[in-house]
Each structure stands twice: as C-alpha cells, then as structure tokens.
Amino acid sequence: MSRLWRATINTWNGLTFATRSEQAIREELFALLLAVPLSFLIGTTAARRLELVAVVLLLLTVELLNTAIEKLADRLTTDHDPQIGRVKDMGSAAVGVALVIAGMTWLYALGERIGIF
C-alpha cells in the first residue's frame, strides 16, 4: 500500500509540474475537460463516449512523455546538439500523430452522430 501511495504522489507531482511549466499540457487538460461532456453529446454508444475521452487521454500521455524528453534533453546540455534536436523533433512528431488520431476519432464520431456513417 505504501508503494501505491508513493506512486500516486509522484504522479500528482509530475502532473502538477508539467501543468505549471507547459502551455501544451494546460491546453490538453482543458481539451480533456471539454471532451468529457462533449462525448455524451457526440458519442452514440457508451463505448464510443469512452473512446472519445480515451483518445484525449492518449494525447495527454504522449504530450507528457514529449515534455519529459524535452526537459531531460535540456538538462543534458544547453548547447545546440543536432542529435538532441532530432530526438525533440521525434517527440513532437509523436504528439502530432496522437493529435491526428484524436482528430480522426472525434470526426468519425461526429459523422456517426449526424448520420454520415
């Protein structure tokens, strides 16, 4: 039980730090707050509503990992390093892919709701 409690505290601390230091995290948390009620309007089934919220959580997860990579890379060196730049670009690309997945999921659900699919 002690390990679970420590893990919960670490999770909270990481989320708090990321929220305070990164605009993208704040924006995605806001998107999550919007996604929950909107999923009830757009989702045609309970499973679809869950998918809509889960895909925003996936996006937030990828953004948190990208932020961690960037913070670690910045800690290693403040000098411009082409390899670190590529690593940061790959993290950014992962966020971009997650955004596309989220967007496609929400567009499909909206199309389903209005009867296109």
Please report how the helices 2-21 and 23-42 are oriented relative to each other, as an axis angle in degrees rounded to 10. 100
Single pTM value for the model: 0.91
Tell me which of 78 and 6 has the higher pLDDT: 6
The residues annotated as belonging to the active site are: 63
pLDDT in tens, 73-95: 999 888 889 999 999 999 999 99
pLDDT in tens, 60-76: 999 999 999 999 999 98
pLDDT in tens, 19-48: 999 999 999 999 999 999 999 999 999 999
For residues 59 and 42, give the distance between their C-alpha atoms in angstroms, rounded to a whole number: 19
For residues 89 and 70, give the distance between their C-alpha atoms in angstroms, rounded to a whole number: 10
For residues 24 and 85, give the distance between their C-alpha atoms in angstroms, rounded to a whole number: 19
Q: Any idea which residue has 């893990």 for tokens?
A: 7
Q: Any idea which residue has 């990481």 for tokens?
A: 14
The yes-or-no verdict on residue 58 having pLDDT over 90 is yes
Q: What are the chain's domains?
A: 2-114 (1.10.287.3610)
The yes-or-no verdict on residue 4 having pLDDT over 90 is yes
**Angle at alpha carbon of residue 23, lines to 17 and 26, rounded to 5°:** 70
Q: What is the mean pLDDT of the chain?
A: 96
Q: What pLDDT score was predicted for residue 63?
A: 97
